[in-house]
Structure 1
Amino acid sequence: MIILGVDPGLANTGWGVVEVINQRYRPVSFGVITTKPEAALPDRIFSITDEISKIADKYNVEVVSMEEIFFTKNISSAISVAKVIGAISFEMRRKKIKVEYFSPPQIKTAVTGIGSADKNQVQQMVKILLGLDSIPRPDHAADALADCITYAVFSSTGAKLRGNK
């Protein structure tokens, strides 16, 4: 299974692609899509969505795992991020690619086993689980890879609970 993880943001959207074979993770690629603050909001959203679409095509992605907005102090920032999430979700569903959403505590639990883990703990575990030499940079890319791992963990656990291997 090839998973595209997305850490949505308006200024920086992290992405990561992980292949999962027999519950083993193989990092494929990762990076960040950056938009310019002076660009119009619709143009920024389009740019992010277009790049994510190209990445999905390039790596033959089967599922997208995306972090949900959980809590924010800045409501206008949250609304912009929600628009990015909506645009990416629409484009992926248009391509018939499954989209799953996970909250930050779900991601922390899946990656570290602790729902209250801090950012560094999550990044260290991403490095370990993916067999990388260093923590992926920038942080948004590491977060996107954590989204991939989260989907793999939840889908594997769900399969086991249903009696599938």
Structure 2
Amino acid sequence: MLVLGIDPGIAQTGWGVVDIVGQRYRPVSYGVVRTTTSKSMEQRIHAIANDIGKLAIDFKVEMVSMEDIYFAKNVSSAMGVAKVIGAIIQQLSLQGIPVQLFTPLQIKLAVTGFGTAEKHQVQEMVRLLLKLEKVPSPDHAADSLAAAICLATNRRLS
């Protein structure tokens, strides 16, 4: 099953495609969708959703796993990320691709076994699980691969 993992953001949205067969994971591709502050917020959100939709088509993904919003101290940036999440869900929904959201805690737990794992621990486990020579870069791409792995882990547990 081809899964597209997404780590949503306004400046950078990480994406990673993982082929999941049983309990084996094979990385297909990963990267980030970047936007620039010279565009309006609406243009940036539209560009992100559009690019993610194209990636889903290009890689023929069957499911999408996306990190859900996490409210920290910066509420205004969280609102922008929430808008990106909604736009991506809408785009993929129009394509008939199911999307499942996971909290950062759920992703950490699925990938490392510890919901309180630190970022570098999650990234190292992604590297190990996907048999990569080095931790995927940039961070958002590594986080998107973790989201894809989380979906696979949770589907097996269900």
1:25 aligns with 2:25: yes
Mapped to 2, the partners of 1:138 and 1:117 lie a distance apart of: 19
Local SS of the residue matching 1:55? helix
Local SS of the residue matching 1:30? strand
Q: Compute the TM-score of the two structures, normalised by the length of structure 2.
A: 0.99
Runs of 5+ consecutive residues of structure 1 not aligned to the other structure? 159-165
Q: Compute the TM-score of the two structures, normalised by the length of structure 1.
A: 0.94
| Corresponding residue for residue 50 of structure 2 | 50
% same residue:
53
Mapped to 1, the partners of 2:104 and 2:84 lie a distance apart of: 17
Local SS of the residue matching 1:60? coil
Shift of residue 127, structure 1, vs aligned partner = 0.0
| Corresponding residue for residue 139 of structure 2 | 139
User: In structure 2, what residue type is equivalent to 1:132?
Assistant: L
User: In structure 1, what residue type is equivalent to 2:13?
Assistant: T
Mapped to 1, the partners of 2:51 and 2:4 lie a distance apart of: 12
Mapped to 2, the partners of 1:37 and 1:9 lie a distance apart of: 13
Larger radius of gyration: 1
Give the ranges of 4+ consecutive aligned residues of structure 1 lying more than 2 Å apart after TM superposition: none
Local SS of the residue matching 2:153? helix
Give the alignment's Cα RMSD to 1 decimal.
0.6
Shift of residue 71, structure 1, vs aligned partner = 2.0
Are the equivalent residues in 1 in contact too, given 2:70–2:78 (CA < 8 A)? Answer: no
Shift of residue 76, structure 1, vs aligned partner = 0.9
| Corresponding residue for residue 88 of structure 2 | 88
Mapped to 1, the partners of 2:29 and 2:79 lie a distance apart of: 28
Local SS of the residue matching 1:64? strand
Shift of residue 74, structure 1, vs aligned partner = 0.9
Are the equivalent residues in 1 in contact too, given 2:3–2:63 (CA < 8 A)? Answer: yes
